[in-house]
Structure 1
Amino acid sequence: MQYLCPSFATLAKQQQLIHFNDFWDLTIPWFEAPNHRRNGWSGVIEYTLTDLNGHSHRYFIKRQENHNTRSLRHPFSGEPTYRRELISILKLQALNVPTLDVVYYQERKEKNNHQAILISKALENYQSFGEWYKSNPDEHQLATAFKRLAAIIKQLHHHKLAHYCLYPNHVFIKSDEKNTFDIRLIDLEKVRYTPISAQGRYKDLDCFLRHASGFSPNHLKMFFDEYFKNLSKFSHIQHKLIQQLSQQ
């Protein structure tokens, strides 16, 4: 499987980055040190390309080797986790759920090693939702951001998809001078289709709540009120989450 954004291909070619090896052999410090598991490894570097007009473009280059996940389609050897992430990114983009902008994906078998590269644009001037919350935004900003986030998660679940790793730090946010918020979902390798939609909803909302220990219960209630707005009846999911929220 492969994916290539034409504008990125042109920019990379200007700096002699054309083939898989050109990206694989880049020797710069790790942005995220390699994670060794699943009998393989995966790691991330940050790389800047400069266009002919002198403008800089930052990217994150994710590389992995034998870092595979087994699935029904690939029960024995598994498939690269970055392939799963690419598929999820493209799926969310098709559904207008905001996420990363991917520009390159390629994989290969090299001496019996399954290698993959996934490159995405850096989220310039974004913060994780957790970091942004700690920056003491005012109540109007908080209300706007939590409502926007709730709408995005609700949209994801409407399509019977679940993130399955919805930590506040896997949500990135950027605001402008008009307090308009752009929110993106990242780390999508675990996204899955959940035909029983209630299961996926609870998994994501419970995960977000459990990892929002520094958040005010009032702000979390604001988030859940927006998420469950316009539902025809009070669900068991709401009941469970309200119980958990009362214990925060």
Structure 2
Amino acid sequence: MAVEQASGHSASSGQQGFDHYWQTRGDWVEEPNRRRGGESGVQRVLLPDNHMIYVKRQVGHIYRSPLHPFGRPTVLRERDALRGLSKLNVRVPRLLFSGAQRDQEFGWKALLVTASLDGFEEIMQWYAKGGRERYGEALHDQLLKDLAGNLARMHQGRWQHSCLYIKHVFVRVVEEPNGPRAEVALLDLEKCRRRFTASAASHRDLKQLRRHSSFSDADWKKLLYFYETAFGSVVKGLER
């Protein structure tokens, strides 16, 4: 039995960690669904110390690429993205554990365990609950700037999210002595991959975000201005 793992949790590693997390149970956040020749689902698990974690559990759920023509669990690609983006100071969930092992019956069994993004919620939920009206336009501009900065750092590192829908943008407001501050995080990195150039990663993701978001024209222009300032160049071919 081959085990490929990466642990960011001091209490569990290797086969012991795999077995431990595989046996955890919680509420389904993403019900198991069949695709890519296997099954994948995500549970929210409350640990005994009251810390919340998310456990993505997969069986036979793989992707193929020139480097992995026979298939590789998608959680390992997501693990690579979490590691890479964290090094670029892109706000993403903290990796606690990942592992994959070959199984005679299922082919692959794989896990990805991440810490909860405490205080964050989907940006559209934040809008729907009146967050913009409550905190005002100055904070909303800061929110757009933080989103733009995270995206620019990701693309400068040649990472492409590849599924950049507005539902994968999360936000929280941190109360500080000098006033509230908005923070943005990116989720669902299962399709994230490296591109040959930063511009290729940038162009694809931003076009996708424009199509799959409800930003007004004015908000989109602000976001694009903040993004291009952080990215260091104009992104051609985008709707403005």
The normalised TM-score by structure 2 is 0.86
Residue 167 of structure 1, CA deviation: 1.1
C-alpha contact 1:142 1:219 (8 A) present in aligned 2: no
Question: Does the alignment pair 1:176 with 2:179?
Answer: no
| Distance change >3 Å, CA 58–CA 232, structure 1 → 2 | closer
The number of equivalent residue pairs is: 228
Deviation, 1:232, is 7.5
Structure-2 change in CA distance of 1:180 and 1:71 (3 Å): same
Counterpart in the other structure of 2:96: 103
Q: Is the 8 A contact 2:27 2:45 kept in 1?
A: no
Whichever residue aligns with residue 183 of structure 1, its letter is: V
| d(CA) in 1 for partners of 2:111, 2:185 | 21
Selected match of 2:147 from 146, 149, 153: 149
Asked if the contact 1:60/1:119 (under 8 Å) is kept, the reply is yes
Instruction: Pick the structure with more strand per residue.
Output: 2
Structure 1 residue 27 displacement after superposition:
4.6
Distance 1:140 1:101, change over 3 A: same
* Residue aligning to 2:33: 35
The aligned counterpart of 1:84 is 77
1:63 Cα deviation (Å)? Answer: 0.1
Q: Provide the residue aligned with 2:67 in structure 1.
A: 73
1:2 and 2:44 equivalent?
no
Matches within 5 A, 1:107-122: 107-113=100-106, 114-122=108-116
Contact kept, 8 Å, 2:99 with 2:110, in 1: the verdict is: yes
Residues 37-72 of structure 1: per-residue CA shift (max 9 Å, x gap):
111000011111123xxxx10011110001000011
Between stretches 80-89 and 100-109, larger displacement belongs to 100-109
Q: Which amino acid aligns with 1:176?
A: V
Q: Tell me, what secondary structure is at the counterpart of 2:224? A: helix
Q: Structure 2 CA distance, aligned partners of 1:152 and 1:181?
A: 13
Who is 1:14 aligned against? none
Which consecutive unaligned segments of at least 5 residues does structure 2 have? none
What percentage of residue pairs aligned between the two structures are identical? 30
Structure-2 separation of matches of 1:9 and 1:231:
39
Q: Does the C-alpha gap of structure 1 residues 75 and 222 become closer, same or farther in structure 2, counting only changes over 3 Å?
A: same
TM-score, normalising length from structure 1?
A: 0.84
CA RMSD of aligned residues (A): 2.2
CA–CA distance in structure 1, aligned partners of residues 81 and 99 of structure 2: 15
Q: How many Å separate the matches in 1 of 2:53 and 2:231?
A: 40
Residue 49 of structure 1 corresponds to: 47
Map of 2:23 onto structure 1: 25
Structure 1, unaligned stretches of length 5 or more?
11-16, 243-248
Amino acid at match of 1:159: G
Q: By how many angstroms is 1:18 displaced? A: 4.4
- SS in structure 2 of the partner of residue 92 of structure 1: helix
Instruction: Give the whole-Å Cα distance in 1 for the aligned partners of 2:34 and 2:232.
Output: 46
**Matched AA of 2:103:** E
Distance (whole Å) between structure 1 residues aligned to residue 159 and residue 202 of structure 2: 9
Counterpart-to-counterpart distance in 2, 1:153 and 1:3: 25
In structure 2, do the counterparts of structure 1 residues 109 and 207 end up closer, same or farther at CA, with 3 Å as the change threshold?
A: same
Q: Is the 8 A contact 1:81 1:189 kept in 2?
A: yes
Q: Which has the larger radius of gyration?
A: 1
SS in 2 for 1:179: strand
Cα 1:27–1:241, aligned 2, differ >3 Å: closer, same or farther?
same
Distance 1:142 1:66, change over 3 A: same
